[in-house]
Amino acid sequence: MSRPYNFSAGPAMLPEAVLQRAQAEMLDWQGTGMCVAEMSHRGKEFMSIAEQAERDLRDLLGVPDGYRVLFLQGGASSQFAMVPMNLAAGAGKADYLNTGSWSKKAIAEAHRYCAVHVAASTQPEGFKRAPTQAELQLSDDAAYLHYTPNETIEGVEFPYVPESRAPLVADMSSTLLSRPVDVSRYGLIYAGAQKNIGPAGLTIVIVREDLLGACHEFTPTMFQYGVHADNGSMYNTPPTYAWYLAGLVFQWLKDLGGLEGMAEINRRKAQRLYAAIDASAFYANPVEPASRSWMNVPFTLADPSLDADFLAGAREAGLLTLKGHRSVGGMRASIYNAMPEAGVDALIAFMAEFERTRG
């Protein structure tokens, strides 16, 4: 069976080798006679899976001592509340950068729990670039600075890591594991898994230990980082199967040569696709070149009345889920880690043929 290339923004493609391994282990994980989904989260079998996954993730990212790695549920959207509930209780105030749809949602949620200072916003220009460091108007008394390194919907990515006195908090839902990260520059990193890490239902949080434990009194137990850290992410039943699949993805990345190798592949995929778009008068990408995302590539057709034909033709060619987000329109190709280079080449070939015959 030949599988199509799925350009979905999330849940997204998983590496085929990971799916095959999960299939091989589905009915009998390593001689136990059990599927991982049937195991007690506190049994020695699942504990070994969980510990291996955390070790591999720490290895891949070079997570320094003094940081905890949490395997949670609730998606990145729950982090929009957990971050201010846990980190802003003292200062009562946080800085946010408004650079696209996801940072807007994070800001709206934070307003419920603390004072929010928007230290930069590119909304008036339609979210087409990341602000520069010089443009950031940071407060002296913020508990943290929150930003979204990759805006999944607009396809806008920060080409640098912001400097701030306050701990840096990053929503890396659509970029974590796509390249190396210097974790020591962050107070907290979070990511929903379904873009670049594994299946939906798992949320990764990497948090510096000194930021644990100072949450608002009203914070629900399940929303306290300290509770999850104290209990090895097993205060309640964790998303065991998603945790296991993410672990298989971590092993796949290590076999591939780690995040530097992955970054090289991702850079090549993005460069090739943007080059094809820029070389054509029929396709366009609205984002300033320095802020273009490696992961999510939105593009428009010169004649939007051809959008439906483009999508239908693409589907027939085995290129799925290219429709842009409803708030932006046009097309969007999400090319996360699991999208093979051959998938990007097939998309570029289809785009050229569509332009030649219909453009």
Ligand X SMILES: *Cc1c(COP(=O)(O)O)cnc(C)c1O
Return the active site residues.
Answer: 102, 171, 195
194 is in an annotated binding site: yes
Enclosing H/E stretch for 358: helix 341-358
Q: Shortest Cβ distance from residue 133 to ligand X (Å)?
A: 21
Q: Shortest Cβ distance from residue 154 to ligand X (Å)?
A: 10
Q: Taking CB under 6 A as the rule, does residue 77 contact ligand X?
A: yes
Among 74-82, 89-97, 114-122, 132-140, which window interacts with ligand X (CB under 6 A)? 74-82
103 is in an annotated binding site: no
Contacts of 357 (CB under 8 A, 6+ apart): none
- 146 closest CA partner among 130, 129, 167: 167
Among 70-78, 118-126, 129-137, 330-338, which window interacts with ligand X (CB under 6 A)? 70-78
236 is in an annotated binding site: yes
266 is in an annotated binding site: no
First-to-last alpha carbon distance for the chain, in angstroms, is 32
Among 167-175, 219-227, 230-238, 341-349, which window interacts with ligand X (CB under 6 A)? 167-175
77 is in an annotated binding site: yes
Cα–Cα dist 48/195, whole Å: 25
CA 158 to mean position of chain CA atoms: 14
Q: Taking CB under 6 A as the rule, does residue 173 contact ligand X?
A: yes
95 is in an annotated binding site: no
Beta bridge partners of 98: 121
Enclosing H/E stretch for 6: strand 5-6
* Contacts to ligand X from residues 93-112, by CB under 6 A: 102
Among 72-80, 116-124, 320-328, 337-345, which window interacts with ligand X (CB under 6 A)? 72-80
Q: Shortest Cβ distance from residue 324 to ligand X (Å)?
A: 14
Cα–Cα dist 287/353, whole Å: 24
Tracing tokens 């914070």 back to the chain, one arrives at: 219
Q: Per-residue x/- mask for ligand X, residues 21 to 40, rule CB under 6 A?
A: --------------------
Tracing tokens 């001689």 back to the chain, one arrives at: 31
- 12 closest CA partner among 175, 254, 171, 169: 175
- The one-letter amino acid code at 4 reads P
- The one-letter amino acid code at 349 reads A
CA 9 to mean position of chain CA atoms: 10
Q: Taking CB under 6 A as the rule, does residue 152 contact ligand X?
A: yes
Greatest Cα-to-Cα distance within the chain, rounded to the nearest angstrom: 63
Question: DSSP label at 38?
Answer: G
Q: Per-residue x/- mask for ligand X, residues 184 to 223, rule CB under 6 A?
A: --------x--x----------------------------
Q: Taking CB under 6 A as the rule, does residue 174 contact ligand X?
A: yes
- Comparing CB distances to ligand X, the nearer of 68 and 195 is 195
67-72 vs 203-208, strand pairing mode: antiparallel
Among 6, 99, 122, 148, interactor with ligand X by CB under 6 A: 148
Q: Taking CB under 6 A as the rule, does residue 8 contact ligand X?
A: no
32 is in an annotated binding site: no
Angular region, 31: left φ>0, alpha ψ -120 to 50, beta rest: left
Contacting positions for ligand X (CB under 6 A): 10, 75-77, 102, 148, 152, 171, 173-174, 192, 195
Q: Which residues are annotated as a binding site for pyridoxal 5'-phosphate?
A: 76-77, 102, 152, 171, 194, 236-237
